Chains A and B, each alone.
Chain A
Amino acid sequence: EAGVVQSPRYKIIEKKQPVAFWCNPISGHNTLYWYLQNLGQGPELLIRYENEEAVDDSQLPKDRFSAERLKGVDSTLKIQPAELGDSAVYLCASSPYVGYEQYFGPGTRLTVT
């Protein structure tokens, strides 16, 4: 069974540029999470989807971040414009249902210069 797929794995952009991350969860998993992880810290939730509905986006900086999960499968996370402080690893995870074991993707390491 394929795991959670994320792309790109690495991205370097200049500040004020837009960037997008893509996630393909495990087939059949209803719940999808986007996390941000800074070095030496645990993951911080950005947004959680139940199927195609964003049920928890309270931590998503909506002035510059947006996300979508069309058809309740793949998801994209966008930042526009990026700031220096956005440099981090962006993780996608999926689980069969909320609260169950999560399966994490390899993450996208974003560097904003």
Chain B
Amino acid sequence: KNEVEQSPQNLTAQEGEFITINCSYSVGISALHWLQQHPGGGIVSLFMLSSGKKKHGRLIATINIQEKHSSLHITASHPRDSAVYICAVYGNQFYFGTGTSLTVIP
């Protein structure tokens, strides 16, 4: 049983499209993290949130604690956004999703 489920697993979009990646979790948490991993690259933390919504540039992350669900949105997607996006939650330990592989085509 996976404590964190992400959807979709794979996503291909045309440059400029609005993208949504979803994360559902089954444990009680104090924080949810969105991470980005480029092919062959390290992992970078994009957001840490425990309620509401956060925005960094073209990236927006929302969380609904009652529904145990979070979404990561990318507006005006660009090929450099191509990466794996990982959702992780922290309750008494970290649980990681398996990631969503995003490819943005020019």
State the A residues within 8 Å of B (CB).
33, 40-45, 48, 56, 91, 93, 98-107
User: How far is B42's CA from A107's CA once the two chains are assembled, in angstroms?
Assistant: 7
**B96, A43: Cβ atoms closer than 8 Å:** yes
Shortest beta-carbon distance from A46 to chain B in Å: 12
* 8 A-B pairs closest in CB distance: A42-B96, A104-B43, A99-B90, A106-B42, A101-B48, A101-B45, A42-B98, A43-B96
Known: A43-B43, A43-B88. 4 other contacts (CB 8 A): A40-B98, A40-B99, A93-B43, A106-B42
Determine the chain A residues whose CB is within 8 A of the CB of B76 once the complex forms.
none
Which of A41, A42, A48, A103 is the most central at the interface, judged by chain B CB atoms within 10 Å of its CB?
A42
**Majority DSSP secondary structure for residues of A touching B:** loop
Which residue from chain B places its CB closest to the CB of A103 in the assembled complex?
B45
A104 vs B97: C-alpha distance when bound (angstroms): 16
Instruction: Kindly state the separation between the CA atoms of A104 and B37 in the bound complex, as whole angstroms.
Output: 10
- Beta-carbon contact of B33 and A101 below 8 Å: yes
Tell me which residues across on chain A come within 8 A of B27, comparing CB atoms. Answer: none
Distance in Å from the Cβ of A100 to the closest Cβ of chain B? Answer: 7
Residues on the A chain within 8 Å of B48, using CB: 100-101
